[in-house]
Amino acid sequence: MLLSVDHVTRYRYDQPVRAVMQSHRLTPSVFAGQKTRNWTVTVTDGIPGGTFRDGAGDVVQSWTVKGPVTEIEVRVTGTVETFDLAGLLRGHRELLPPEVYLVDTPPTRADAALTALAHAARNPEGALSTAHGLAAAVADAIAYRPGATHAHTTAAEALALGEGVCQDHAHALIACARAIGLPARYVSGYLFATADGSAHEAAHAWAEIHVAGLGWVGFDPANRCCPDARYIRLGSGLNAQDAAPIRGIARGLGQESLDVTVAVQDLQQ
């Protein structure tokens, strides 16, 4: 598919702030499943900082805005050609070994219920089957319902609630995978929502599980599938916060409010 993205994040502050500092992971990953045609990120009055590729293979670019300002707009536009690899992250250059993604973090900590869910899904046929089983189990246990959870809801809380959004699905799947010794990580990106309403949330998140012999494989419990040509992958981390496409901080007392719009379109339709 040939997907176009127009992603606008508008930060508003009720009092002027200075020295706004942002760290972006907003560049599409380089792997066999996607090819970037063009891609631009702009920040109102932003001074671009250094850029580098981190150990997970993600391109990081920082920005500063001197201020004082009361509004900043971050706009991401571009076109990416995508291919369906059935979730495989083939040809992705990264340095970090999968063992790094066995580390526990507060939002992905497995409680008794998550651990039980994980063990029940174990499949003697091997890690890949187990991973599929885990994804299905999480999708069954947590119904998609926007507004039921918030940014700081943990995997354990979401499972207890039985409802959540893609972040909660991904956290729960990661917790389960790590609980049975499978390295797992959080992935942020975009999703092309088809007309029949089968997919939701254009700014999307899912999980990757490391399967020996295959490498990293993506699973999207929220949509009960593996990432295909409808997905654009941006970056990964131990949890949602660690994988956040935009991290920012500002000096001043202004309270921040956020407004995000994402439009993903299929240019070949």
Partner 1 sequence: MVAAGGVTVTQYFNEMYQNGKVRAPYAQLEDWMNAMPAQLRTLKQAEAEDLFRRIGITFAVYGEGGDPDRLIPFDMFPRVFTGAEWGRLEKGIKQRARALNAFLVDVYGRGEIVRAGRIPARLVYQNEAYEKAVAGIKPPKGVYSHIVGIDIVRTGPDEFFVLEDNCRTPSGVSYMLENREIMMRMFPDLFRGNRIEPVDRYPDLLRRTLASVAPPKCSKDPTIVLLTPGPFNSAYYEHSFLADLMGIELVEGQDLFVEGEFVWMRTTEGPKRVDVIYRRIDDAYIDPLCFRPDSTLGVPGVMDVYRSGGVSLCSAPGAGVADDKAVYTFVPEMVRFYLGEEPILKNVPTWQCGRQDDLGYVLDNLADLVVKEVHGSGGYGMLVGPKATKEQVETFRAKITADPGNYIAQPTLALSTTPTFVAEGVAPRHVDLRPYCLVGERIELVPGALTRVALTEGSLVVNSSQGGGVKDTWVLAE
3-state secondary structure 25-93: CCCCCCECCEEEEEEEEEECCCEEEEEEECCCCCEEEEEEECCCEEEEEEEEEEEEEECCCCCECCCCC
4 vs 62 by CB, closer to partner 1: 62
How deeply is 267 buried, as exposed, middle or buried, from its count of CB atoms within 10 A (0-12, 13-18, 19+)?
Answer: exposed
Asked if 149 and 91 count as a contact pair (C-beta separation under 8 A), the reply is no
Q: Looking at 10, 53, 109, 224, which residue binds partner 1 (CB under 8 A)?
A: 53
CB of 82 vs partner 1, minimal distance in Å: 26
Instruction: Determine phi and psi for 163, rounding to 5 degrees.
Output: -140, 160
| Residues between 101 and 120 that touch partner 1 (CB under 8 A) | 102-103
Stretch that binds partner 1, among 47-55, 69-77, 156-164, 190-198 (CB under 8 A): 47-55
- Asked if 50 interacts with partner 1 (CB under 8 A), we say yes
Beta-bridged to residue 93, according to DSSP, are none
Q: Looking at 33, 164, 248, 254, which residue binds partner 1 (CB under 8 A)?
A: 248
CB of 6 vs partner 1, minimal distance in Å: 26
Asked if 258 and 203 count as a contact pair (C-beta separation under 8 A), the reply is no
Q: How far apart are the first and last CA of the chain?
A: 9
- Asked if 49 interacts with partner 1 (CB under 8 A), we say yes
Per-residue binder mask for partner 1 (CB under 8 A), 23-42, x = binder:
x-------------------
Contacts to partner 1 by CB under 8 A = 19, 21, 23, 47-56, 60, 62, 64, 66, 95-97, 99-100, 102-103, 247-249
